Chains A and B, each alone.
Chain A
Amino acid sequence: MKKIMSLLVLGSLAMASAHAQKSAAVQSIEEYRAMLADGNPAELFEAKGEDLWKQKRGPKAASLEKCDLGQGPGVVKGVFVTLPRYFADTNKVQDLESRLLTCMDTLQGLNVAEIAKTPFGKGEQNNLTALATWIAAESRDMKFNLPQAHAQEQVAYEVGKRLFFQRGGPHDFSCASCHGADNWRIRLQDLPNLTKNPGDGVGFAAWPAYRVSNGQMWGMQQRLNDCYRQQRFPYPGFASDATVALSTYLGVNSQGSKSVAPALKR
């Protein structure tokens, strides 16, 4: 909490100084990031996510404390770096966000089909993002190690790879059009090469992240969704098989890299 307070103070300072310098034009995002380095606003979402995990909610008035994220009911530490993975009860490969939907359905009785259709940044989607942020934070600095023993996990990787290279839309873009080689940039934005392990805290190992440019907290589902938007693709369903398979490809490629999520992004 103390950390959060100091973060709020820092945040208001940043806003005040930005205001004072308005006439002096541009204050770079890098400077802003440096100021925030001590207190990523993601911490606010972490705190909210932890509360939500323990809170009795939904028609069944239950918490998520019995949710099985892959290491047994209630285990949160270390699970993030093993997702997506296969779950026997759903007979599906699931990422963190789709698995949370399962728990919100089975434990709390929430209408998860509705939640999946809710736009990012609205209603229960905000809660889902906060939960994902806290759960990711509980694996900070751990190394990605997605299981690939189950046939469906191997299939998810192979499908994800095909999705990554799928060219289409008016511009013929695929994920690889931007993330297919080393040292590529769009304008001044560095783009990680995601066809291989991009290293600690890069690409898949950096989301959920707080985005300074729009002041929003994004989970991996939203990150992929916005990539597809910019690719001029149609809309990928939230927690759809395509987004989970693509995450599996990215996650397996990041094998051994440290997660820095929740990260701070431009």
Chain B
Amino acid sequence: MKKQHAFALSALAAVLVAGCASSPSTVDLDKLTADIVKASFTDKGIVKVAVIAPEDINTACSAADVAGKPLEANVAEALQAAQLKTIKWPADGQFMGDWKKGEALAQSGRGLTWSDKADTANGGNCYNCHQMDPKEISYGTIGPSLLGYGKTRGVVADPTSPASKAIIEYTWGKIWNAKAYNACSVMPRAGHKGIITEAQVKDLMALLLDPKSPVNQ
């Protein structure tokens, strides 16, 4: 602990000296924050500090949040284009899985915390933020309601029809990597970050789009 304090203190002193004890610049503060993060966080259980290593899109969005200004449109577009390229489309061309499995996955918010085990099955976290099956009253409001998702988009009659192609692909892409469509979305990149598998993305697709899914009743 002593070591940690000495480290942060010297970092802070450096900032204050560099800024002539007046207000330090944004660059200084960003650097100091990075140093403090390095000194303050440690590995625990299955979570390693490497998971918070800077990544261009997160760094850009965090900075925009701090500034209280959205990203410049061209910057956002470039970041989104890069994320779009990460999307893995279903190898067998089949987009739809089992809505019942999707519902179970949507219910779970487990996995990847330091109190989870390496073999804890990751949840989809869907109900934490979205309304889906109307029978589930315990839903979050951070994301939009997905009640009637397929029905309201006219996909339910025949999800495999060419007319449904655009919405099917968008939905797959959004689940796989939400940031491909909105750089600073607060939605996780469930497929891209390996939180859920390709088969599980199919199950969530079915929950949203299968005519028999409770979401579309």
A interface vs B, CB < 8 Å?
91-92, 112-113, 116-117, 151-152, 154-155, 158-159, 161-163, 165-174, 176-178, 180-181, 183-188, 191, 229-230, 232-237, 239-243, 245
Contacts and interface: CB of A to CB of B under 8 A. Distances in A.
Interface residues of B, number: 58
Interface in B36-78: 36-37, 39-44, 47-49, 51-53, 55, 58, 61-62, 65-66
A2 B7 CA distance: 49
Contacts of B43: 234-235
Interface stretch (B85-93, B95-103, B111-119): B111-119
B4 to A, nearest CB: 7
A245 B61 CA distance: 20
Contacts of A236: 40-41
A188 B52 CA distance: 28
Contacts of A237: 1, 4, 39-42
A152 B186 contact: no
A242 B12 CA distance: 13
A171 B29 CA distance: 25
Nearest to B48: A234
Contacts, number: 160
A167 B1 contact: no
Given A151-B21, A171-B112, A240 B51 contact: no
B186 A180 contact: yes
B33 interface: yes
B24 interface: yes
Given A158-B29, A166-B52, A234 B142 contact: no
Contacts of A151: 16, 21-23
A236 B42 CA distance: 7
Contacts of B37: 163, 166, 242
B5 interface: yes
B17 to A, nearest CB: 11
B193 A240 contact: no
